[in-house]
Amino acid sequence: MGKILNVVERAYQGTLEEQDDQALWLVHTLQKAGGEHAVLLRGPAVSYAVRGQSVGSLEIAGVKAGNPPRLDQDLEKLRAAGVDLYAVREDAAERGISREEAIAGIQWVSRSEVPRLFVEASRVFAW
C-alpha cells in the first residue's frame, strides 16, 4: 500500500493568521505520529518550494501578528521527516519558477505523471 498523497494547490490560505500552511502542518504532525505521506505541490502552491521566499508579515496599528510563515523551511522539515515532495514542472514554469530557485529534494513531475502518483497512493487528500 502506498503513502497518502496530499495535494496542495490552494496557496497561502491562512498563512499569515496561522503562521504556516495548515495542510503542511497537518502532514508533518501525521508523519511524526507514524504515518506515511507525500506532498504534491501544484498550481499556485508550487511557489512554496522557492528558497528564501517571504510572504511578509501582518501588522495592525503598529503591532506585528506573530511570525510570518517560512514555507520553504516547512517543506525542508517535511523532507527531513521522510515525506516525499513532488511539484508540477509546468505549474512552476508558468509562474517563472526555475528548479535552481527551489529547495533541494523536490521531485519534479510533469502534469502527465500526476495520475501515476494518484494510482500509487493509498489515499489522496486535496487541500
- Average per-residue pLDDT in the chain? 90
pLDDT band at 93 (very low <50, low <70, confident <90, very high): very high
Whole-model pTM: value is 0.88
Domain with residue 100: its CATH number is 3.40.1260.10
Q: pLDDT tens digits for 41-54?
A: 999 999 999 999 87
- Residue 16 reports pLDDT greater than 60: no
**Cα–Cα–Cα angle for 88, 24, 67, nearest 5°?**
115
Q: What is the pLDDT of residue 47?
A: 95
Dist. CA 24–CA 52, nearest whole Å: 17
Counted domains in the chain: 1
- Residue 114 reports pLDDT greater than 80: yes
The cell for 4 is 497518502
Interstrand relation of 37-41 and 84-88 (parallel, antiparallel or unpaired): parallel
User: Which residue, 34, 40, 20, is CA-closest to 84?
Assistant: 40
- Residue 101 reports pLDDT greater than 70: yes
Domain that holds residue 27: 4-126
Point out the least confidently predicted range of 11-20, 85-94, 116-125.
11-20
- The one-letter amino acid at 122: S
Please state the rounded mean pLDDT for residues 9-32: 80
Please state the rounded mean pLDDT for residues 30-50: 96
- Residue 56 reports pLDDT greater than 70: no
The residues, any chain, with a CB within 8 Å of residue 116's CB and separated by 6 or more, are none
